[in-house]
Structure 1
């Protein structure tokens, strides 16, 4: 047993994992049937209460100057990589590296702007609380919405009990999920994206966030399915904020509806242990048979390593990366950002540029995983 195995015992289950030849003990799981999307309605201005003013093609004021230039200059959906110079010395090498960086940024934008031909659902989950799940949901939604600029990204709260999603966004919260459930029949008949948007909060990038502005009863599985059935057809991608209880009815239903999974973690041993416990949901069946076994999602998992402190324990990140590489699970690192650490409403324009760029990398990775 290696030192990494002692710290992360769950990681050893993935040793020798081969995407083309799954482990023998894993049983095949049938793919879920595709849900009909229905007719999409071109969004316009929102209702008078709460005020919603987004329109398709609207630019975000929060776009950084460099990212805006990249966005406006992107012509080819998949730009060609730069050709390496064989002569020219250090100056030519630096120029080539700058071209590579620009090409990588352009590819990230192209990935995030890709049309999916039907809505996709990304579940953000970890069995431990306090690991930056909600900031990950909000910032991922912002990164994708900033690139797409068309109001096609939404996030919503699928936790069985009222979560903190709306506490971390600014602006009017909208009517909320309780009223959305109450009016589900009318909304399903009208199929109006404009009307639906009035139940959520619009972020500065044009993403919409649906949460619970007031106390509510526990969400059941049918509640989660109803909310998904209303929100998912109206957006190209929905990002779902889950709670920690993986055997709850709400989580089980959200997992069944997911097309990809993002697992956030902060840099401490407990968070890493729960990271691998969550990963194990996709490598072996729940012994109590209360959690759907979605082996198909293993190839569409992305781990987010969030640095939430300037003084972190040494060695944990390196060991975690090594274990994830053995398990063939991609990861994205998010640098420490005081704006997120404050615990208040997250405003995309107030994040440091390296933080925004890291979430753009996450957005590109997630879009590639569901394409």
Structure 2
């Protein structure tokens, strides 16, 4: 942050509401005190004025979907590097997912281990999601009281053995525990189904895409919307990739479901048609879909059907991406993008 002598920041591009205007931001006791038209700079003489020229000055971004992976998989990412990357990208708050750390944040004891691992290492504000896995429903209320932001579950294999996906009985047990707490249950909304016939070449992105068709997401979203309406517990669909699910989401909200939805930077900026053979750095789950789908996601975001854009930052060590073989079937499914996300939607 700026030194204590800085009492104002001037820019030709300050984001104020939905407008970008020249302005002077005055600072008092380390906090924004006032935002003045740029002409006000001539009347502001106390302290140092930091002129950032044409650089955009805007509120810090909250990224509520970040996999930091510490403790246990700190070689993939840790708080020291993740939160520095966040700060470099204009992200001032992250919310850390309950996987892929070891142990995962699925018990009160494990949550305290995560807090200890993060202590003294965070360069931005950091909050934490808990996790719902088979059999841990009695841990949920203690974790709410300890300060977790909410809970994440998978309706399909998560990719790591220590965070198994839930069955219907686990969901009902968890939602009963969360009633009246004000907490939220997050869903990785894909369900295992028969995939389409595949090309024999695992280095082709189209081969991988056929293993995660839109119907897997649609059927999972159908389950989420029904549960949300039944229990009236806040539910949240993480990293929506398929625009085909939007009709279900709109109908559930109109029926009174307290449901929110996010999508990611990569679904809004990348398309399946442009992913080269063997480029496993583009693999994520759910997958990046075609350009027509991308356009529909943008329209839904503008219409308010999608509530937020997140990174789903999910890094790993280079070897796990199988860059040498380009095999999408074996590569880790995650994209490392925490520091780049604001480029997707920052004002121009």
TM-score, reference length from structure 2: 0.34
Select the structure that is richer in helix.
1
Of structures 1 and 2, the one scoring higher in RCO (CA 8 A, sep 6+) is 1
Instruction: Looking at secondary structure, tell me which structure has more strand per residue.
Output: 2
TM-score (norm 1): 0.32
